[in-house]
């Protein structure tokens, strides 16, 4: 252990004395305070907070990822290149201790930096409400929608139901002999599935749609609130870019029993919303039934609207924790990413030169950033091509950790959404406990067999 720590200390000294970390540190120190002043968002306090925290966290996590990659790839390969390792390996230190020491050094330094910059972003965010002049309503909005940690519940699109409807439509087309000749069956199925998925999300003019949410358990507190968060599109585009919605939110099962016997209230909200923007409706949490059931209904009234409305996003949220601890978990999520990248860089540089190892690491990093997109794209590819990719790219994407979607740290903070401990732990176990250990094992194995003094030009 003392050997590993000695190598780790040496690695940190290298990064500091060779000014590898300096560029990133100065950039962040200059950019973060400046951004806190110049970001405005949509003009409200909430918008300012959201855009600053979004840029701040993305910037910190991106720059530290790049720094981790370059440090991790540089340290071992420069030691090999400058032959300083020739001397180190003749000492009573195992090869794996050298690899682990390098990894530890890169990791510790970057985690220290992460902790420092996370504190800066946190401090600037917390100071923002008192430093900007905003009315109490805006302050309250920021408090309930940003300085919080909310759990989100959404309605799963019922894939089985969609598939069933698609098959019904295909049967019908076949019966009527209207199957298009120029399309293969799988292409037809794909097109119909897309159509059905859109129709699942859309509300025609003069029609209504209900979303049934299960397992919604806001705190049993008279002041507790429930948020309905949505984003809508309209086709054709409405003249003023707005849609007027008539909403009812509550436990609709009670309608059968007659209005006098209602245990929980049903709330009515009527408001006009701009399209292609995320909006939130705030109602008392009392609308949710005891068993965690709540229904949200939307009526597309022809009196006000002229378009079909398509819901891009629809979820309900309620507060489950504090902003501080959620921020902490988000930082841990970034830490998981940095630790993985440190292991990746060090492992690759046991057998690749610095530029090659750095390029490979960057590729993995960027692939991780678009991993979910790739997976979806491959899933919807045609039969043959899909099969080819299935056996090449797909398994590679599986061993690469995901940095997008639910693994992206910013979304949690921006939408005030809770990052559950369980999710964080599962992500850490998968990324660090499986993928990273595998990488390190391969790197150590290669390094163990390597001729250190072999000249490579």
> Cα separation of 409 and 61, whole Å?
9
In the list another protein, ligand ADP, none, the entry touching 14 (Cβ below 5 to 8 angstroms by class) is another protein
Closest CB to another protein among 82 and 175? 82
DSSP secondary structure letters along 235-277:
ESPPTTSEEEEEEEEE-GGGGGG-GGG-SS--EEEEEEEETTS
H or E element in which residue 308 lies: strand 308-321
Site track for another protein across 77-96, x = CB under 8 A: -----xxxxxxxxxxxxx--
In the list another protein, ligand ADP, none, the entry touching 18 (Cβ below 5 to 8 angstroms by class) is another protein
Query: Shortest approach of ligand ADP to residue 451 CB, angstroms?
Result: 8
| Residue 296 to residues 223, 242, 252, 264, Cα–Cα distance (Å) | 20, 20, 9, 14
CB atoms within 10 A of CB 437: 11
411 backbone dihedrals φ, ψ, rounded to 5°: -55, -35
Site track for ligand ADP across 396-435, x = CB under 6 A: ----------------------------------------
> Cα separation of 211 and 176, whole Å?
34
In the list another protein, ligand ADP, none, the entry touching 452 (Cβ below 5 to 8 angstroms by class) is another protein
Query: Shortest approach of ligand ADP to residue 453 CB, angstroms?
Result: 7
Tell me: does residue 82 bind ligand ADP (CB under 6 A): no
Tell me: does residue 108 bind another protein (CB under 8 A): no
Tell me: does residue 163 bind another protein (CB under 8 A): no
Query: Shortest approach of ligand ADP to residue 83 CB, angstroms?
Result: 11
Tell me: does residue 18 bind another protein (CB under 8 A): yes
Both tokens assigned to 73: 């790839």
| Residue 271 to residues 139, 235, 386, Cα–Cα distance (Å) | 22, 19, 45
Site track for ligand ADP across 436-455, x = CB under 6 A: ------------------xx
Residue 39 near residue 115, CB atoms below 8 Å: no
Residue 289 near residue 252, CB atoms below 8 Å: no
Query: Shortest approach of another protein to residue 452 CB, angstroms?
Result: 5
Both tokens assigned to 416: 């005030």
**Ordered strands of the 242-250 beta sheet:** 208-213, 294-299, 242-250, 267-274
Closest CB to ligand ADP among 86 and 291? 86
In the list ligand ADP, another protein, none, the entry touching 13 (Cβ below 5 to 8 angstroms by class) is another protein
Residues that bind another protein (CB under 8 A): 2-3, 5-7, 9-10, 13-14, 17-18, 82-94, 451-454
Residues that bind ligand ADP (CB under 6 A): 454-455
């Amino acid at each position: 252990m003392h050997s590993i720590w000695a190598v780790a200390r040496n690695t940190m000294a290298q990064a500091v004395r060779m000014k590898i970390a300096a560029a990133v540190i100065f950039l962040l120190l200059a950019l973060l305070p400046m951004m806190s002043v110049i970001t405005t968002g949509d003009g409200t306090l909430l918008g300012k907070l959201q855009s600053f925290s979004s840029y701040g966290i993305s910037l910190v996590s991106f720059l530290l990822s790049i720094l981790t990659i370059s440090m991790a790839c540089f340290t071992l390969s420069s030691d090999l290149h400058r032959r300083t390792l020739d001397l180190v390996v003749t000492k009573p230190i195992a090869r794996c201790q050298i690899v682990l020491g390098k990894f530890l050094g890169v990791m510790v330094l970057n985690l220290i930096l992460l902790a420092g910059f996370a504190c800066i972003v946190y401090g600037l965010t917390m100071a923002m409400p008192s430093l900007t002049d905003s009315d109490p309503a805006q302050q309250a909005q920021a408090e309930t929608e940003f300085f919080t940690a909310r759990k989100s519940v959404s309605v799963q699109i019922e894939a089985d139901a969609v598939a069933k409807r698609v098959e019904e439509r295909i049967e019908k087309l076949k019966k009527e002999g209207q199957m298009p000749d120029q399309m293969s069956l799988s292409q037809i199925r794909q097109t119909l599935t897309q159509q059905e998925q859109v129709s699942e999300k859309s509300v025609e003019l003069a029609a209504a749609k209900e979303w049934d949410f299960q397992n919604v358990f806001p705190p049993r507190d008279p002041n507790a609130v429930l948020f309905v968060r949505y984003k809508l599109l309209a086709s054709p585009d409405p003249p003023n870019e707005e849609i007027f919605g008539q909403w009812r939110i509550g436990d609709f099962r009670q309608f059968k029993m007659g209005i006098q016997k209602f245990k929980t209230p049903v709330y009515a909200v009527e408001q006009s919303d701009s399209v292609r923007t995320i909006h939130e409706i705030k109602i008392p949490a009392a609308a949710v039934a005891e068993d965690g059931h709540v229904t949200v209904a939307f009526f597309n009234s022809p009196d006000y609207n002229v378009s079909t409305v398509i819901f891009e996003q629809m979820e309900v949220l309620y507060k489950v924790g504090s902003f501080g601890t959620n921020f902490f978990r988000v930082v841990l999520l970034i830490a998981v990413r940095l630790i993985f990248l440190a292991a990746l860089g060090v492992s690759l540089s046991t057998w690749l030169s610095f530029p090659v190892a750095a390029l490979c690491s960057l590729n993995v990093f960027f692939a991780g950033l678009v991993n979910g997109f790739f997976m979806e794209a491959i899933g919807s590819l045609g039969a043959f091509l899909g099969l080819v990719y299935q056996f090449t790219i797909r398994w590679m994407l599986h061993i690469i950790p995901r940095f997008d979607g639910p693994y992206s740290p910013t979304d949690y903070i921006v939408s005030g959404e809770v990052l559950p401990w369980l999710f964080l732990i599962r992500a850490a176990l998968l990324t660090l406990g499986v993928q990273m250990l595998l990488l390190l094992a391969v790197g150590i194995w290669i390094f163990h067999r390597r001729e250190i003094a072999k000249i490579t030009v």
